[in-house]
Amino acid sequence: TLMCMIELLVTIKKDEKRYRTMRRALKGLELMEQYEASSGHRLPVSMYGKVLNCMAQCSPAPVEEAVALLKVANLRTANFAILCVHYGNVIKVCASARPSRADTALDLLAEMKEKNIHPTGQVYTNVIQACARSAGGARLGDALKVLDEMVSRKMEIPIPTIIAVLN
């Protein structure tokens, strides 16, 4: 996982602020892995969330790396609130990719439901953005289905969600 992250770091070097943010996150992940290997103790799974959050801000969006890191984080916790945040960050990475990775975002949403992890409004918004930003608007129908799901669950629909569908 760490080697994939280092390769990613090289690709985002152009954007100095994101590069520094990602570098700090990677250093934290590296130290965490070293500590765990030497002590046998596990550090908080929230560290993965911090790295995933950094990945969600990267350009180009590192979808494969984020999904791989999510799988590692999933093995380390059963806390649904933490997992929801992790899934949300990876789905945000999918929405940020150009072209967006709507298929992956929809798969992750389905996986959350299978695991009985209740998506937040932000997770739904990120899925809708991924679908709405798909090449040529090919997944706009899926974006509308996800929006319908939000309505049926009586969720508050944030303005960015509506804007994503209208664009």
96 close to 66: Cβ distance less than 8 angstroms: no
Coil, helix or strand for 1? coil
Tokens 């508050």 identify what position?
Answer: 156
d(Cα 110, Cα 124) in Å, to the nearest integer?
A: 11
- pLDDT level of residue 19 (50, 70, 90 thresholds): low
pLDDT of 61 higher than 80: no
pLDDT in tens, 70-86: 887 777 777 777 888 88
| CA separation for the pair 132, 139 (Å, rounded) | 6
- Decide: 47 and 85 in contact? Cβ < 8 Å: no
First-to-last C-alpha distance (Å) of the chain: 36
What is the model's pLDDT at position 166? 74
Determine the pLDDT at residue 101: 92
Alpha-carbon distance 40 to 150, whole Å? 43
- DSSP alpha helix (H) spans, 40-79: 46-56, 63-76
Residue 111 has pLDDT above 90, yes or no: yes
In angstroms, how far is CA 20 from the centroid of its own chain? Answer: 19
Distance CA 66, CA 116 (A): 21
DSSP state of 60: S
Return the pLDDT at 124: 93
Sequence letter at residue 34: Q
Select, from the ranges 47-61, 108-122, 150-164, the one with the highest average predicted confidence (pLDDT).
108-122
Average pLDDT over residues 115-132: 91
